[in-house]
Structure 1
Amino acid sequence: MHVVVRALAVLNHLSSYRQGLTLQQLHQQLEIPVGSMHRLMSTLEHEDFVSRSPTTKRYVLGANALKLGHSDDYEPFLIQPPAALMEAERRCGESVILTQLIDGRVVAVSIAGTKRPLRLFVRLGQEVPLHAAASARAILAYQDPALAEALLSSFPRPSFTAGTVRELNRIIDHLALIRERGFDVCDNELDEGVWAVAAPVYSGPAGRVSTAVTVCAAWSRVTTAAERAAAARVVLDAAQRISREQGYDKPFTADPSEAELTDLFAGDADVIGLPGLDASWARRAPNTRAKS
């Protein structure tokens, strides 16, 4: 019973530290001997009640612990598509999705649909995988790095297609690229034959990010650099409009023109690393296209 009490104390304590704690920190804060703590954490990790980051060495709650008491009823969070989503759908003729970070999960809370054929993994009120969806990565990229890594470490990272990237370090490196260029791309990673581009929505003067706008299209409809650039510009415009409506009043530092985007997509290659998308435009002269 003593071991059970200790295990429950660890899980309860970790629930207050979403960025995780090291073994030494748990030992000090819970006053459990290091040897006992090590054996306890090894068992909890084996049973997927905790997960340990390979880079920070911090423990966070694992998938099985997160299931306890979790409800997947996101009905209270679902909203009618805002005007910016409807306008984006009219401009590009594709499905436009608004996702939100809710209790460590990214959920599709609004969808402006299209009659054009498209088979999507994402449905209204559904969680999207943090590692494989542009809509989720565009949000995670703007979280505290330790929190983003903790969330990615807490959930399984299954393969949905041959293009799904599962390696934690590659995904974390990719988050930095998203911040640099201001959007993310998902190319056959989550759904076969589906291409998506997502951009973060900034909220309030501080520019906190908990939502993102995504355009999803059949791969056959966005085969050229110009078509992909047009979709990316639609996403950026919609995300910026919603950001302004939510009180963000600063310039959008990552705000490429459609011509710049066309140049970027002209070299489109691997999705997660995107070596063909040179982000040097983000390091050029200060942006003059910021919306007021």
Structure 2
Amino acid sequence: MTDAGTRDRDRVQSIERGVAVLRVFAGREGQLSMADVAARADLPRPVVRRILITFEHLGYARLHKGLWSLTPRILELGAGYFAASSLPEVSYPVMNEVVERTGETCSLGVLDGFQVVHVGRVEDHRPMPGAIRIGMQLPAYATAIGKALLAHLPAEEVEEFLGSVELAAVTPSTVTDPDRLRERLALVRERGFDLSVEEYTPGRLSAAVPIVLDDGAVGAIAVSATTARETVETMEQTIVPVLLEAAEDIGRTYRAANPQLYRSAGAWTTPGEGHTPGEGHTPGEGHTGPR
């Protein structure tokens, strides 16, 4: 039997189903009926009932007036990821500074497969309606953070991505042509950042810079704003330099916080260091994807 076959045999179906139920609550709705949970998880209602009752017994879920919701105790499941040495933990001081300097919302994202997961976010004093929340997954090809991360995958992984993901239009501005996306990722590698205009949400634009360490991008930091407040020119001239500096700061701190991962004492440089936005530069050349 192959390694893959052995792993499939050893999987625990009940745990997979339990995780599927938990992920249903990752949407915007905080309270759902059992029927809704079953439909969204694509599981039989009796199975979902037993899972929810088990989570209730463990203190992770509650039932109130016929609706199920998660309790704050669920946060302990993610506590290990947000430990003192984690990327979000070391990034928050820098993200707060980005918001102070730009007056716009700052986000931190990583790749999960070919989806972007937002693992950090700091709002400015004018939070945007329908704002993205921590833990939300977005299509990488349609977001600035996603393209900043995809641009630092090995070429074969980019081709795997293009061959396995439907580039569906989220808005009229979404890049849906594979060749255009390849060109866009090459541009990101060349100049060290991505600037997306209304590609995921109408009326919004974002700039993102990868956090590159040794052989890959461990994450990306981004600033998003409305088209009423910022333009492509202001984002490139005032926001991108702040993000380039922030990515360098985060990278240095993350390396220092995780010596077991980065034992090399070699110097690390940020994408775009010594360059102004738009100048030719190839950050992370030869790097693999995020860890």
Q: What TM-score bracket applies, with the shorter chain setting the length?
A: 0.5 to 0.7
On the 8 A contact 1:98/1:214 being kept in 2, the answer is yes
Alignment of 1:87-236 (within 5 A): 87-119=97-129, 122-203=132-213, 206-223=214-231, 225-236=233-244
Q: Secondary structure at the match of 1:115?
A: coil
**Distance in 2, Cα, partners of 1:253 & 1:157:** 27
- CA distances 1:256-289 after superposition (whole Å, capped 9, x unpaired): 65xx44xxxxxxxxxxxxxxxxx4x2169xxxxx
Report the CA distance shift for 1:68/1:152 in structure 2 as closer, same or farther (over 3 A): farther
Which among 230, 236, 251 is matched to residue 269 of structure 2? Answer: 251
**Distance in 2, Cα, partners of 1:83 & 1:182:** 22
**Distance in 1, Cα, partners of 2:19 & 2:157:** 19
On the 8 A contact 1:89/1:96 being kept in 2, the answer is yes
Structure 1: runs of 5 or more not aligned = 1-8, 16-66, 262-278, 285-292
Shift of 1:165: 1.2
**Distance in 2, Cα, partners of 1:232 & 1:142:** 18
Shift of 1:230: 0.7
- CA distances 1:65-109 after superposition (whole Å, capped 9, x unpaired): xx9998557962464552111111111111100001234432000
Q: Secondary structure at the match of 1:222?
A: coil
On the 8 A contact 1:106/1:128 being kept in 2, the answer is yes
Structure 2 partner of 1:282? 280
**Distance in 2, Cα, partners of 1:94 & 1:126:** 19
**Distance in 2, Cα, partners of 1:135 & 1:157:** 16
Q: Secondary structure at the match of 1:220?
A: coil
Which has the higher mean CA deviation after the structures are superposed, 242-251 or 215-224?
242-251
Q: Secondary structure at the match of 2:218?
A: strand
Q: Secondary structure at the match of 2:142?
A: coil
**Distance in 1, Cα, partners of 2:153 & 2:145:** 14
Q: Secondary structure at the match of 2:96?
A: helix
TM-score (norm 1): 0.60
**Distance in 2, Cα, partners of 1:231 & 1:246:** 22
Report the CA distance shift for 1:119/1:153 in structure 2 as closer, same or farther (over 3 A): farther
Q: Secondary structure at the match of 2:228?
A: helix
Instruction: Name the amino acid aligned to 2:280.
Output: A
On the 8 A contact 1:131/1:152 being kept in 2, the answer is no
Structure 2: runs of 5 or more not aligned = 8-15, 27-74, 83-87, 256-265, 283-291
Instruction: Name the amino acid aligned to 1:282.
Output: G
Shift of 1:214: 0.5
Q: Secondary structure at the match of 1:190?
A: coil
Shift of 1:144: 0.5
On the 8 A contact 2:99/2:106 being kept in 1, the answer is yes
Identity %: 25
The aligned length equals 203
On the 8 A contact 1:120/1:191 being kept in 2, the answer is no
**Distance in 2, Cα, partners of 1:239 & 1:125:** 21
- CA distances 1:199-233 after superposition (whole Å, capped 9, x unpaired): 00022xx2421300000011111126245411111
On the 8 A contact 2:248/2:269 being kept in 1, the answer is no
On the 8 A contact 2:105/2:225 being kept in 1, the answer is yes
